[in-house]
Amino acid sequence: GENVEQHPSTLSVQEGDSAVIKCTYSDSASNYFPWYKQELGKRPQLIIDIRSNVGEKKDQRIAVTLNKTAKHFSLHITETQPEDSAVYFCAASKTGRRALTFGSGTRLQVQP
Amino acid sequence: EAGVVQSPRYKIIEKKQPVAFWCNPISGHNTLYWYLQNLGQGPELLIRYENEEAVDDSQLPKDRFSAERLKGVDSTLKIQPAELGDSAVYLCASSLNEKETQYFGPGTRLLVL
Protein backbone atom coordinates (compact mmCIF):
# COMPACT_ATOMS: atom_id res chain seq x y z
CA GLY A 1 0.00 0.00 0.00
CA GLU A 2 0.87 3.67 -0.01
CA ASN A 3 3.46 5.06 2.41
CA VAL A 4 3.89 8.78 3.02
CA GLU A 5 6.90 10.18 4.82
CA GLN A 6 6.98 13.74 6.11
CA HIS A 7 9.85 15.95 7.25
CA PRO A 8 10.68 17.69 9.46
CA SER A 9 8.68 16.56 12.46
CA THR A 10 9.08 19.97 14.11
CA LEU A 11 9.88 23.35 12.60
CA SER A 12 10.41 26.65 14.37
CA VAL A 13 10.63 29.89 12.41
CA GLN A 14 10.57 33.58 13.16
CA GLU A 15 7.50 35.55 12.22
CA GLY A 16 7.82 36.74 8.64
CA ASP A 17 10.16 33.94 7.59
CA SER A 18 9.22 31.17 5.18
CA ALA A 19 8.50 27.56 6.17
CA VAL A 20 8.88 24.49 3.98
CA ILE A 21 7.55 21.01 4.75
CA LYS A 22 8.41 18.06 2.52
CA CYS A 23 6.70 14.74 1.86
CA THR A 24 7.53 11.70 -0.21
CA TYR A 25 5.15 8.98 -1.31
CA SER A 26 5.70 5.43 -2.50
CA ASP A 27 2.79 4.60 -4.82
CA SER A 28 3.35 6.04 -8.29
CA ALA A 29 -0.39 5.69 -8.93
CA SER A 30 -1.22 8.32 -6.29
CA ASN A 31 -2.66 11.38 -7.98
CA TYR A 32 -4.17 13.59 -5.28
CA PHE A 33 -2.15 15.38 -2.58
CA PRO A 34 -3.88 17.52 0.04
CA TRP A 35 -2.41 19.36 2.98
CA TYR A 36 -4.29 19.69 6.26
CA LYS A 37 -3.71 22.03 9.19
CA GLN A 38 -4.67 20.81 12.64
CA GLU A 39 -4.69 23.07 15.66
CA LEU A 40 -4.53 21.52 19.10
CA GLY A 41 -7.72 19.63 19.91
CA LYS A 42 -9.40 20.63 16.65
CA ARG A 43 -10.32 18.96 13.39
CA PRO A 44 -7.91 18.72 10.45
CA GLN A 45 -8.75 21.46 7.94
CA LEU A 46 -7.78 21.43 4.28
CA ILE A 47 -5.53 24.35 3.38
CA ILE A 48 -4.48 23.45 -0.16
CA ASP A 49 -4.39 20.45 -2.47
CA ILE A 50 -2.82 19.51 -5.78
CA ARG A 51 -3.56 16.89 -8.41
CA SER A 52 -0.98 15.05 -10.43
CA ASN A 53 -1.67 16.94 -13.64
CA VAL A 54 -0.37 20.15 -12.04
CA GLY A 55 3.19 20.92 -10.88
CA GLU A 56 2.48 23.86 -8.62
CA LYS A 57 -0.47 25.58 -7.00
CA LYS A 58 -0.59 28.78 -4.98
CA ASP A 59 -3.15 30.37 -2.70
CA GLN A 60 -2.04 33.67 -1.16
CA ARG A 61 0.78 32.84 1.27
CA ILE A 62 0.74 29.10 0.77
CA ALA A 63 1.89 27.05 -2.19
CA VAL A 64 2.38 23.39 -2.97
CA THR A 65 4.79 21.89 -5.48
CA LEU A 66 4.69 18.36 -6.87
CA ASN A 67 7.48 16.37 -8.50
CA LYS A 68 5.89 13.19 -9.86
CA THR A 69 9.16 11.76 -11.11
CA ALA A 70 10.77 11.96 -7.70
CA LYS A 71 7.48 11.24 -5.93
CA HIS A 72 7.67 14.14 -3.56
CA PHE A 73 5.64 17.24 -2.82
CA SER A 74 6.20 20.22 -0.60
CA LEU A 75 4.24 22.89 1.25
CA HIS A 76 5.60 26.42 1.27
CA ILE A 77 4.31 29.09 3.63
CA THR A 78 5.64 32.61 3.14
CA GLU A 79 5.48 35.55 5.54
CA THR A 80 4.59 33.27 8.42
CA GLN A 81 2.38 34.57 11.20
CA PRO A 82 1.85 33.30 14.77
CA GLU A 83 -1.58 31.98 13.76
CA ASP A 84 0.16 29.64 11.31
CA SER A 85 1.39 27.67 14.34
CA ALA A 86 -0.20 24.21 14.17
CA VAL A 87 0.48 20.66 13.05
CA TYR A 88 0.49 20.21 9.28
CA PHE A 89 -0.22 16.88 7.61
CA CYS A 90 0.43 15.91 4.03
CA ALA A 91 -1.56 13.08 2.47
CA ALA A 92 -1.86 11.11 -0.74
CA SER A 93 -4.55 9.09 -2.45
CA LYS A 94 -5.34 7.58 -5.83
CA THR A 95 -8.34 7.03 -8.03
CA GLY A 96 -10.26 4.00 -6.84
CA ARG A 97 -9.05 4.28 -3.27
CA ARG A 98 -9.73 7.82 -2.18
CA ALA A 99 -9.05 7.19 1.47
CA LEU A 100 -6.09 9.36 2.37
CA THR A 101 -2.74 8.05 3.56
CA PHE A 102 -1.31 10.69 5.87
CA GLY A 103 2.21 11.64 6.79
CA SER A 104 3.22 11.75 10.43
CA GLY A 105 2.80 15.51 10.72
CA THR A 106 4.99 18.58 11.19
CA ARG A 107 4.59 20.78 14.22
CA LEU A 108 5.19 24.34 13.04
CA GLN A 109 5.86 27.03 15.60
CA VAL A 110 6.05 30.64 14.50
CA GLN A 111 7.88 32.79 17.01
CA PRO A 112 6.58 36.38 17.24
CA GLU B 1 -23.67 25.05 5.96
CA ALA B 2 -23.07 22.80 8.95
CA GLY B 3 -19.90 20.78 8.93
CA VAL B 4 -19.43 17.16 9.90
CA VAL B 5 -20.90 16.55 13.34
CA GLN B 6 -19.63 13.94 15.76
CA SER B 7 -20.71 12.89 19.21
CA PRO B 8 -19.74 12.46 21.89
CA ARG B 9 -16.69 14.72 21.86
CA TYR B 10 -15.10 12.89 24.77
CA LYS B 11 -15.61 9.45 26.23
CA ILE B 12 -13.95 7.72 29.16
CA ILE B 13 -14.64 4.04 29.71
CA GLU B 14 -13.10 1.09 31.46
CA LYS B 15 -11.49 -1.66 29.42
CA LYS B 16 -13.76 -4.44 28.19
CA GLN B 17 -16.71 -2.05 28.06
CA PRO B 18 -18.49 -1.27 24.78
CA VAL B 19 -18.47 2.20 23.23
CA ALA B 20 -20.14 3.80 20.23
CA PHE B 21 -19.42 6.93 18.23
CA TRP B 22 -21.85 8.75 15.98
CA CYS B 23 -21.22 10.82 12.86
CA ASN B 24 -23.50 13.04 10.79
CA PRO B 25 -21.81 13.99 7.50
CA ILE B 26 -22.30 17.17 5.52
CA SER B 27 -25.68 17.12 3.80
CA GLY B 28 -25.49 15.53 0.37
CA HIS B 29 -22.10 13.90 0.92
CA ASN B 30 -22.24 10.31 -0.30
CA THR B 31 -18.83 9.21 0.92
CA LEU B 32 -18.10 8.81 4.62
CA TYR B 33 -14.83 7.85 6.29
CA TRP B 34 -13.83 6.82 9.78
CA TYR B 35 -10.21 7.49 10.71
CA LEU B 36 -8.23 6.70 13.85
CA GLN B 37 -5.70 9.27 15.04
CA ASN B 38 -3.18 8.32 17.69
CA LEU B 39 -1.39 11.04 19.62
CA GLY B 40 1.26 12.74 17.51
CA GLN B 41 0.39 10.84 14.35
CA GLY B 42 -1.62 11.32 11.21
CA PRO B 43 -5.10 9.85 10.82
CA GLU B 44 -5.36 6.25 9.58
CA LEU B 45 -8.36 4.93 7.70
CA LEU B 46 -10.63 2.42 9.42
CA ILE B 47 -13.50 2.23 6.95
CA ARG B 48 -14.96 4.07 3.95
CA TYR B 49 -18.60 4.09 2.88
CA GLU B 50 -20.10 4.93 -0.48
CA ASN B 51 -23.70 5.63 0.47
CA GLU B 52 -24.63 2.69 2.69
CA GLU B 53 -22.02 0.30 1.30
CA ALA B 54 -18.70 -0.28 3.05
CA VAL B 55 -16.27 -0.28 0.11
CA ASP B 56 -12.97 -0.26 2.03
CA ASP B 57 -12.82 -1.85 5.47
CA SER B 58 -9.51 -3.65 5.16
CA GLN B 59 -8.02 -1.71 8.10
CA LEU B 60 -10.95 -2.25 10.45
CA PRO B 61 -10.15 -4.73 13.28
CA LYS B 62 -13.27 -6.77 12.75
CA ASP B 63 -12.90 -8.85 15.89
CA ARG B 64 -13.88 -5.88 18.04
CA PHE B 65 -14.83 -3.01 15.72
CA SER B 66 -18.02 -2.68 13.72
CA ALA B 67 -19.62 0.12 11.77
CA GLU B 68 -22.85 0.83 10.00
CA ARG B 69 -24.31 3.53 7.83
CA LEU B 70 -28.00 2.91 7.63
CA LYS B 71 -29.87 4.84 4.93
CA GLY B 72 -26.56 6.18 3.66
CA VAL B 73 -26.47 9.22 5.93
CA ASP B 74 -25.44 8.96 9.61
CA SER B 75 -22.89 6.41 10.69
CA THR B 76 -22.03 4.65 13.93
CA LEU B 77 -18.69 3.11 14.85
CA LYS B 78 -18.67 0.62 17.71
CA ILE B 79 -15.95 -1.03 19.74
CA GLN B 80 -16.76 -4.09 21.83
CA PRO B 81 -14.92 -4.82 24.01
CA ALA B 82 -12.61 -1.80 24.27
CA GLU B 83 -8.93 -2.29 25.04
CA LEU B 84 -6.38 0.10 26.53
CA GLY B 85 -4.74 0.51 23.13
CA ASP B 86 -7.96 1.85 21.63
CA SER B 87 -7.42 5.19 23.38
CA ALA B 88 -7.20 7.69 20.53
CA VAL B 89 -9.20 10.25 18.59
CA TYR B 90 -11.78 8.83 16.19
CA LEU B 91 -12.35 11.16 13.26
CA CYS B 92 -15.21 11.07 10.82
CA ALA B 93 -14.91 12.72 7.42
CA SER B 94 -17.19 13.09 4.43
CA SER B 95 -16.92 14.08 0.80
CA LEU B 96 -19.37 14.74 -2.01
CA ASN B 97 -18.10 11.65 -3.74
CA GLU B 98 -14.94 9.62 -3.68
CA LYS B 99 -13.10 12.12 -5.88
CA GLU B 100 -13.74 15.24 -3.88
CA THR B 101 -12.25 17.01 -0.88
CA GLN B 102 -12.68 15.33 2.49
CA TYR B 103 -14.03 17.43 5.35
CA PHE B 104 -13.36 16.28 8.88
CA GLY B 105 -15.46 16.36 12.00
CA PRO B 106 -14.06 17.46 15.38
CA GLY B 107 -13.47 13.87 16.46
CA THR B 108 -14.30 11.81 19.52
CA ARG B 109 -11.48 11.54 22.02
CA LEU B 110 -11.63 8.10 23.66
CA LEU B 111 -9.80 7.19 26.84
CA VAL B 112 -9.87 3.57 27.94
CA LEU B 113 -8.84 2.98 31.56
Q: How confident is the model at residue A96 (pLDDT cuts 50, 70, 90)?
A: low
Helices (H) and strands (E) in chain B, counts: 0, 11
Establish how many alpha carbons lie within 13 A of residue B80's alpha carbon, considering only the half-sphere containing its beta carbon: 9
Which residues in chain A have Cβ-Cβ distances shorter than 8 Å to B36?
none
Contact state of A46 with B44 under an 8 Å Cβ cutoff: no
Beta bridge partners of A65: A56, A74
End-to-end Cα separation, chain B, in angstroms: 37
Contact state of A46 with B98 under an 8 Å Cβ cutoff: no
Identify whether the C-beta of residue A23 lies closer than 8 Å to the C-beta of residue A6. yes
Contact state of A45 with B104 under an 8 Å Cβ cutoff: yes
Looking at residue B107, what DSSP letter applies?
A: -
Q: What percent of chain B has pLDDT over 90?
A: 83
Q: What is the pLDDT of residues B6-59, one digit of tens each?
A: 999 999 999 999 999 999 999 999 999 999 999 989 999 999 999 999 988 888
Q: What is the pLDDT of residues A40-83, one digit of tens each?
A: 989 999 999 998 887 999 999 999 999 999 999 999 999 999 99
Interface A-B: count of C-beta contacts within 8 A: 50
A53-88 burial string, b = 16+ CB within 10 Å, else e? Answer: eeeeeeeeebbbbbeeeebbbbbbbeebeeebbbbb
Looking at the complex, does the CB of residue A43 fall below 8 Å from at least one CB of chain B? yes
End-to-end Cα separation, chain A, in angstroms: 41
Looking at the complex, does the CB of residue B105 fall below 8 Å from at least one CB of chain A? yes
CA torsion, points B38, A100, A105, A69, in degrees to nearest 10? Answer: 150
Establish how many alpha carbons lie within 13 A of residue A47's alpha carbon, considering only the half-sphere containing its beta carbon: 23
Q: How many other β-carbons are positioned within 10 Å of the β-carbon of residue B104?
A: 23
pLDDT for res A47: 96
